[in-house]
């Protein structure tokens, strides 16, 4: 996993929006395939380091508050801006289009993160939290030998909510777009504007907590460079392919907790449930009256998720 050279250079961290633990820093890394990504170090205790893999459209500062919660519980947090989002290298002329050439390319980013964690001498052992798209990237990383003792997945992208009637259309349209050179175009019904800046709170698919919703909006309004709109045709086609590849493999032999909101409308809870039923030392937790962002839900939900997460990590230190 660590056969790369990664120069670590200090990068900007937007303290005015991050609300991260005191002493937090960000760094530039260069991946094996030559792209620049950013990582954020939220210092905590000596219980270990949480490698936090965010979802599509997300960025380091979004997890500053979570970093505070983990620090209170004795854990350091290491967050990544994936290629194509946050301050990571954007991959198309249109910087607002979420894009990746091949989904396994995210593993180059994972390897750079692991190398940086070693070079920065972050506390061991390592643990993993993978949210949404980061849940798919994280599961692949575990299969490829990432040295983590336990993993928590929140609303992992092990399936995408597409109606049965539209699923063949999603496959065929995105494949055709790639074939004719239109893979960089937005998927139908998506746009360059970030979801959180265009959605109404009352029926948004992210959180039931108005304060957290407004916090996410404020972050993007203050730092538009962090904005990302809808996914490209190629990203969606690659995501569907990766989901099928992961589904075909047995659950890994690692303690795991999977947390999903009862009103999840972005990823597919049915496929998540099926995966966790086959996970010998895994548990699925459905959080009542919650949406996609369980770490950014109402205070009672957030506290429960953080407590259950750290309880699993404490058991496997």
Q: How confident is the model at residue 6 (pLDDT cuts 50, 70, 90)?
A: low
C-alpha separations of 317 from 73, 121, 190, 284 in Å:
13, 17, 42, 21
CA 32 from centroid of its chain's CA atoms: 20
Joined together, the tokens standing for residue 32 give: 């094996």
- Cα(205)–Cα(251) distance, rounded to whole angstroms? 28
- Topology, domain 9-315: Rossmann fold (3.40.50)
| Spatial contact of 90 and 84, defined as CB atoms under 8 Å apart | yes
For the stretch 40-65, pLDDT in tens is 999 998 999 999 999 999 999 999 99
Beta carbons of 256 and 152 less than 8 angstroms apart: yes
Segment 204-229 shows an average pLDDT of 98
* 2 pLDDT more than 70: no
Of 51 and 2, more confident = 51
Please, what is the average pLDDT of the chain? 95
156-193 pLDDT per residue, tens: 999 999 766 556 768 888 888 888 898 999 998 899 99
* Nearby residues of 221 by Cβ (< 8 Å), 6 or more positions away: 197
CA 42 to centroid of chain Cα atoms? 16
Residue 4 scores a pLDDT above 70: no
pLDDT in tens, 64-89: 999 999 999 999 999 999 999 999 99
pLDDT at 116 over 80: yes
What residue spans define the domains of the chain? 9-315
- Choose among 309, 302, 285: nearest CA to 130: 309
pLDDT digits (tens, 9 = 90+) for 262-299: 999 999 999 999 999 999 999 999 999 999 999 999 99
Sorting pLDDT into bands at 50, 70 and 90, what band is 7? confident
């Amino acid at each position: 996993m660590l056969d790369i050279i990664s120069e670590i250079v200090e990068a900007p961290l937007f303290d005015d929006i991050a609300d991260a633990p005191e002493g937090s820093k960000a760094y530039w890394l260069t991946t094996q395939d030559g792209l620049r990504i950013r990582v954020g170090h939220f210092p905590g205790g000596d219980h270990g380091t949480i490698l936090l893999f965010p979802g599509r459209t997300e960025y380091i500062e979004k997890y500053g508050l979570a970093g505070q919660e983990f620090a209170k519980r004795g854990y350091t947090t290491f967050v990544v801006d994936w290629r194509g989002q946050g301050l990571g290298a954007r991959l198309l002329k249109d910087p607002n289009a979420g894009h990746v050439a091949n989904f396994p390319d995210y593993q180059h980013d994972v390897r750079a993160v692991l190398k940086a964690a070693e070079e920065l001498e972050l506390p061991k052992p390592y643990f993993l939290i993978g949210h949404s798209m980061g849940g798919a990237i994280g599961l692949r990383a575990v299969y490829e030998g990432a040295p983590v003792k336990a993993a928590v997945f929140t609303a992992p992208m092990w399936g995408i909510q597409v109606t049965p009637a539209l699923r063949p259309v999603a496959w065929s349209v995105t494949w055709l777009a790639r074939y004719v050179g239109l893979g960089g175009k937005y998927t139908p019904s998506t746009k360059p504007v970030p979801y959180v800046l265009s959605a109404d709170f009352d029926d948004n698919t992210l959180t039931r907590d108005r304060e957290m919703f407004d916090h996410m909006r404020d972050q993007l309004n203050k730092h538009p460079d962090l904005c990302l709109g809808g996914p490209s045709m190629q990203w969606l086609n690659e995501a569907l392919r990766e989901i099928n590849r992961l589904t075909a493999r047995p659950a890994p032999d690692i303690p795991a907790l999977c947390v999903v909101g009862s009103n999840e409308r972005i990823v597919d809870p049915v496929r998540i449930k099926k995966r966790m039923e086959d996970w010998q030392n895994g548990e699925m937790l459905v959080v009542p009256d919650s949406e996609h962002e369980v770490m950014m839900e109402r205070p009672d939900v957030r506290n429960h998720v953080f407590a259950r997460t750290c309880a699993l990590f404490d058991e496997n230190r």
